[in-house]
Amino acid sequence: MLALLCPGQGAQTPGMLAPWLELFDADGGADAFDIDEYSDAAGVDLRTHGTTSDADTIRDTAIAQPLIVATSLLAARALLGRPLAAADGVALAGHSVGEFAAAVLAGVLPDRAGLALVGERGRAMAADAARVPTGMNAVLGGDPADVAARLEQLDLVAANVNGAGQVVAAGSLEALEALRADPPAKARVVPLQVAGAFHTSFMAQAAQTVAGVAASLDPADPVVPLLSNADGAVVTSGADALARLAGQVASPVRWDLCQETLGGLGATAVVELAPGGVLTSLARRTLPGVPGIALKSPADLDAARAMLAEHGIATGTGAVPTPESNVTPGDS
């Protein structure tokens, strides 16, 4: 079993989309690709933000989320050249917004519908973040019980439980400042450059918005195992996948449980799609002995394809088709 992972917010870097667009432009023919179609679906100028916008600009939640998902989808398109099939022996998981990319690659939604949903998610979460000043801190190390007790004392939420001794605390700026001033024993606290307390009740309105848009879609069941951030479970229903995607906006990301599930499924290799790196690093510590490759740019394609070949996963050429039965939000 090969685990294909999709990164979450914070993985973005200036110009990260440029090499992938250059790859498709140079290839042409069957692989010709128009990024403007993705931009129209997401409601974000992905070409500009993925090639020339600076770090501060792409930190904006409304921009970062569709930009990350689009980059992951293009990387998968370049790597696979075809849709995944049940016989491939691939399991998909994505961290936070990366779960939306994973759902698209699993066949739950076509790429345009997935990007449209992510675009709505990013705008809704940015709006919620603007209502009340909140934020997030990474808590590295420390005894898990001590960390949990300190967060409860400060009325903070473990919004991401990432495994390998890493928890992301979220809540009010005052409480986060108190956490940094007096951290749990043997723990290091690092402020994160995010707009708000994602994956907490502060995002409740955004979760409702995403649920409303998701209700207009006609999802397909995943064709390969798709893991849920809620509890690490393998999702087999398209409707359940969409419900979980909406719910995770205001609920903690249990990446530790996703990795436990990958271990239980017998994952023997990890490929993290662009613009990744963090999930591969976590996998080294939580799935010891399992090799991993972060597909950060087209320069990494040969190594990633070699890993797929070792697992008997064939790669094709040309655009990856998506289910015709699904519709983009707003389509009649």
Residue 298 Cα distances to 17, 102, 273, angstroms: 11, 20, 11
Concatenated DSSP letters of 52-101: T--HHHHTSHHHHHHHHHHHHHHHHHHHHSS---GGG-EEEEESTTHHHH
Q: Which residues are catalytic?
A: 96, 199
The domain ranges of the chain are 2-130+200-310, 132-191
Confidence of residue 193 (pLDDT cuts 50, 70, 90): confident
For the chain, give the mean pLDDT.
92
Beta-bridge partners for 282:
none
Q: What is the pLDDT of residue 194?
A: 86
Q: pTM score, two decimals?
A: 0.93
Q: pLDDT at position 25, please?
A: 83
Asked whether the predicted pLDDT for residue 250 surpasses 70, the reply is: yes
Q: What is the mean pLDDT of residues 48-58?
A: 97
Q: What is the CATH number of domain 2-130+200-310?
A: 3.40.366.10
> What pLDDT is recorded for position 146?
97
Percent of the chain at pLDDT above 70? 93
SS3 134: strand
Does the structure show a pLDDT above 50 at 288? yes
Parallel, antiparallel or unpaired: strands 134-141 and 166-172: antiparallel
Q: What topology is assigned to 132-191 in CATH?
A: Alpha-Beta Plaits (3.30.70)
Looking at the DSSP bridge assignments, the partners of residue 135 are 171
The whole-number pLDDT of residue 326 equals 38
Q: How far is CA 331 from CA 106, 185, 211, 213, 328, in A?
A: 22, 53, 17, 11, 5
Is 18 buried (19+), middle (13-18) or exposed (0-12) by CB count in 10 A? middle
